[in-house]
Amino acid sequence: MNKFTIVHLSDPQLSAANGPQYNQQLPPAAKLQRIFDDIIAHDLQPDLIVISGDLLTAGTSRDYAKLRDYLATQSDRLQAPIQVILGDQDDREAFNLGYLGEPHQPYYAYKQVYQNMDFYFLDSKWEPNKEAGWLDREQLDWLNKNLHLAPRRRAFLFLHHPLDAPALRGMRYALLQNNRELLAILHGHNIGGIFAGHLHFGANYLVDTTIPVTTVASASTYIDCQDPHHHEVHDATSYNVITIQRGMASITNHPLYLGQSVIDTIDITNTGFAKHRPRLTNPRRAGNGLPLI
């Protein structure tokens, strides 16, 4: 199998025209452009670029339409498709209308096949909860069905919210809440890795004893979460390069900038899982899973 290269970035948190402005040395749009420029400067020649959520802050449908056009331009420039998924800060209705032109999708999940490998892009945005992640029943059923269609094919998953791990015990309020349901579906399948964002710092760990999980540091800020109840935010830009060869993925981090000053603080009261979880049996209409590019 040939080498397959993925540039993975997350949480660009582009400021919409009427969105909040943060005390950052560089505006979020300039940081995102710096990543695309760095890809060319280092001649990475990716086969795929993935932006795993929190695309815009307070974005309207017009903002998402502009983002779609901007990413299409960068895709042509880099000669690589750019795939996106939704994060907790994204507005689903505005994204559906402005980016997809499909206003009534309850979630946005889809599958792409590259070099006989399956890539799943999952929608973990949980509407009633702005921070935690959730995969609804229809999406889990869709994933289960597709995994069984090609049980021997190597599969890789991208989503916004990371899965639980002992090292992230103090971050459970921000993680995927139905880890067990997802792992039950993945168990026994040929899973090469799970890639996420959301935490604004990098992490690597195993789930279900064999599945590697990698969270990429943010394209916009770094959040120091050593104190579980008091997080410090720094200006930062970073992305990962995932190299897959013979079904094995290796990850290298490309940090471009880290500010020393604390530009914001986040106080956390409850660090545990969300107390109220939706019922997995609730019927919802499934999305179309249309590819972007």
- Considering its fold, how many domains does the chain have in total? 1
Give the pLDDT band of residue 55 (cuts 50, 70, 90).
very high
What is the model's pTM? Answer: 0.91
Rounded to an integer, the average pLDDT of 175-204 is 96
Contact criterion met (CB below 8 Å) for 203 and 181? no
Residue 289 lies in a domain: no
Assess whether pLDDT exceeds 80 at residue 265: yes
Mean pLDDT score of the chain: 90
Cα 105 from Cα 101, distance rounded (Å): 10
Weakest mean pLDDT among 15-19, 227-231, 260-264: 15-19
Residue 290 in domain: no
Mean pLDDT of 205-211: 94
Q: Of 205, 212, 219, whose CA–CA distance to 156 is shortest?
A: 212
Query: Does residue 91 carry a pLDDT above 60?
Result: yes
CA dist 154 and 193 (Å) reads 9
Asked if residue 18 belongs to a domain, the reply is yes
Q: Is residue 274 part of a domain?
A: no
Is the pLDDT at 238 greater than 50? The verdict is yes
Mean pLDDT of 177-197: 96
pLDDT at 233 over 80: yes
Asked whether residue 151 is domain-assigned, the answer is: yes
Domain-located, residue 11: yes
For residue 235, the enclosing domain spans 4-267
* Distance separating alpha carbons of residues 177 and 57, to the nearest angstrom: 23
pLDDT at 18 (0 to 100): 45
Whether the CB-CB separation of 8 and 217 falls below 8 Å is answered with: no
Could you tell me the pLDDT band of residue 275, with boundaries at 50, 70 and 90? Answer: confident
For the chain, give the percent of residues with pLDDT over 90: 83
pLDDT of residue 25: 76
- Cβ-Cβ contacts under 8 Å for 278 (sequence gap 6 or more): 126, 128, 134, 136
Question: Per-residue pLDDT for 280 more than 90?
Answer: no
In a domain, 87, yes or no: yes
User: What's the CA gap between 157 and 75, in Å, rounded?
Assistant: 21
DSSP string across the chain = ---EEEEEE----EEPTTS-----SS-HHHHHHHHHHHHHHTT---SEEEEES--EES--HHHHHHHHHHHHHHHHHHTS-EEEE--TTS-HHHHIIIIIS-TT-S---EEEEETTEEEEE---B-TT-SSSB---HHHHHHHHHHHHHSTTS-EEEE-SSPPP-GGGGGGGGGSBS-HHHHHHHHTTS-EEEEEE-SSSS-EEEEETTTEEEEEPPPSSEEEE-SSTTEEEEEEEEEEEEEEEETTEEEEEEEEEEEEEEEEEEEE-S--S--S----TT---PPP------
Q: What is the pLDDT of residue 287?
A: 38
pLDDT digits (tens, 9 = 90+) for 167-183: 999 999 999 999 999 99
Q: Binning pLDDT at 50, 70 and 90, where does residue 16 land?
A: low
Residue 160 lies in a domain: yes
Q: Could you tell me the CATH number of the domain that includes residue 236?
A: 3.60.21.10
**Which of residues 23 and 204 earns the better pLDDT score?**
204
223/199 Cα distance (integer angstroms): 7
Distance (Å, whole) CA 6 – CA 125: 23
Residue 257 vs residues 34, 73, 113: alpha-carbon distances, Å: 10, 24, 33
14-28, 99-113, 256-270: the lowest-pLDDT one: 14-28
The confidence band for 130, taking pLDDT boundaries of 50, 70 and 90, is confident
